[in-house]
Structure 1
Amino acid sequence: MNTRTRLRRALDNPMLFLRQINRLYHRRFGRRGHNTDGIDIFAEDWDTLCILDACRYDMFARCSKLPGQLERRQSRGSATTEFLTANLDGRDLTDTVYVTANPQLYQNRESIAVDFHDVIHVWREEGWDEEYGTVLPETVTEYALRAAEKYPDKRLVVHYMQPHYPFIDSETDFDKGHLTGARQENVWNQLLLGTLAAEREDVWRIYEANLERALPHVETLLRNLEGKTVVTADHGNMVGERAFPLPIREWGHPRGIYTPELVSVPWLVHESGPRREIRADDAEVQSEQVTDEVVADRLRQLGYAE
C-alpha cells in the first residue's frame, strides 16, 4: 500500500487519522524512521537468534517455560518491515543465514539492502501450510535444524511466524477470513475500526494460544543447537490498550508507534555446549524466484494490511 493510499484511508476514517497523528508524535514528525531506543540485534552476542513474530514481553514472560535467563529489551520497530529495515539495511551479514517464515524481507528486497550468506524462505510452496494459511512452527524448526547442520560456521537467525495472526488452533470464526480468499481488513484493523465485535479477553486468549502453540517447537530448537541462543521478537502487539498521546484503543502492530506493548520484547539467553566458530563467506546465489501473486497472497493470509 503506497503513501497516498494510506493517507486517503486515514482521511476517510477517524481512527486511522488519529493513529496517524500518534505516529507523527512517535516518529518525531519524520525525524526518525524507527525506534532509536531499540537494540541493534547484530551487535549483540549470540550464535542463534530466534525471532517470535509479534510477541509481547509480558505475554512471553507469562507463557514461556523455555530454559534460560529472561531479560526485557526494546525493539527498533513496531512492525516487521520497520524492524528489518532498521536492523538489516546496508549491512554485510555474510556470516549469517536467515531462515524465515515471514515473506516481508522478500517483499521489500529492493528497499532493504542486505547481504546474508543465505536466506531460506520457508514460506515458499514447500513450507506453506494451506490448511492454516501460514507456516507452522514445527516446519520452521525443521528447516532451522537443517540449516544449522549445513552451515555450522554461520550465525543463524530463525524467524517464526507465531504468535502473529493467523491464530492456528482457535475455534473462532471471525479470524478465518484469510482461508476463504476474502479480501477484507485483517482482524486487528476490524477491531480498530469497530467493524468486528469481539471481546478483548477472547482475542487475548487466542493470541496467547498462538504463542503456546509455537513454544514447544522453539524448545526443540534450543535443545538441539549448541552455542548461545537468544529468543526474542521483532515487535509486540496491542490488544485494545490505549495508545498515546491520543488515547485511542489500539489493536495490532502499526508501524511507527512505540508504546511499551509494541516495542518491549523478550530477550531470553540460553547457552548449551561449545560456541560456534563463525566466519563470513560469499553469499549463496538466490536463484529461485516467487511470483508477485504468490507473495501478495501469502501476505494477505498473514493479515498484512494497514
Structure 2
Amino acid sequence: MRPVRSFVAVMAIGAVLAAGACGGGDDGSEKGGSGGKTVTVQAANGAVTVPANPKRIVSLSPTHTETLFAIGAGKQVVAADDYSNYPPNAPRTKLSGFKPNAEAVIAYKPDLVVVSDDLNGIVKALEKVKVPVLFEPAASKLDEVYDEINDLGQATGHTAEATKVVTGMRTTIEQTVAASSKAKGLTYYHELDNQLHSVTSSTFVGQVYGMFGLRNIADEADKASGGYPHLSREYVLKEDPDLIFLADTKCCGQNAAALAKRPGWSVLDAVKNKGVVELDDDIASRWGPRLPEFVKAIGDAVQRVQ
C-alpha cells in the first residue's frame, strides 16, 4: 500500500515528468545483452537498449510490478520495491522507489530496472554503470497507460501478452462506460486521505471519472495545488456531492460508517442515499492492469444512485 500523501507527491511529480514519456519502440538485433540480442524501447529517458529477454528485472514501482506480472514477466522479476504488494507473490524487498539507492539496486545484478520516478537521480546513477533503466512515469491519460504496458511487454519479451492485456483493459473499460448511463448533473468527491486532500479533473484519476460525465466538486477549489487540493470540511458540506469515493480505506481506515460520524456529514446526500463508495486505495492510485476494477466501481455507483 502506498501512503496517500506520498501518492499525491508522486502523481504531481509524474505529471511534470511525463512530458517526454512513453511511445512504443523498435525491435533490435544488435549483439550484446542476454543471448546476444537486444531491443530498443522509447521511454521518458529516451531510447533504451535492453537485453531481448532480461532475466533479472528490478521494479521500483508498484504499478509496473503489477504490469510485469500481468504480462507474464513475473518470473523475471528478482526484486520489487517496498510498496509492491500486488500480486502477493511479487518479490517485495526493502528497496525504495521514493528514496532509491543505486548501490542497493545494483546489488541485485539487474539487467533491467523499471522506475516510475527519477528521484535521487536514480536513472543517471544506473545508466552510469551501464544498467538499462526504463523510466515510465505516472500516466496522465489513458493512452499512456496502454503505451507503458506495451513498452514493458516489448522490453521483457512479452509483446503479445502485453497486447492482450491492453486489449482486454480497453474493451472492459469501454463496455463499463457504455453500460453506465451518463451521469448528467451528478457531482462527486474523491477523498485521498482523511485530511480531505482530493483530485481535480485535470489529474489522471479525475479524467477517469470524467468518462462518466461526473462533475468534480474539487475543480473550483484548486488553487495552484497541481490538481491535488486540500478541501475544507465546510466546502465539502456546502457542495453536498451526490457521490463520495473513499480512496483512504486502507491508509486511514475510512468507510461509510466512519464518514457518517464526521460532524455534519450524516446529512449529505451521498451518505443518506448510499452514495459512498469504499475503494481499494491501491487500485484507485495505480494506473496499471487493475484500472478496469476502478472504472467498474465508478460505473456501479453511477447506476446505483440514478
TM-score past 0.5 threshold: no
Compute the TM-score of the two structures, normalised by the length of structure 2.
0.33
Greater strand share, 1 or 2?
1
Larger Rg: 2
If the length of structure 1 is used for normalisation, what is the TM-score? 0.33
Larger relative contact order (CA 8 Å, sep ≥ 6): 1
Instruction: Return the structure number with greater helix share.
Output: 2
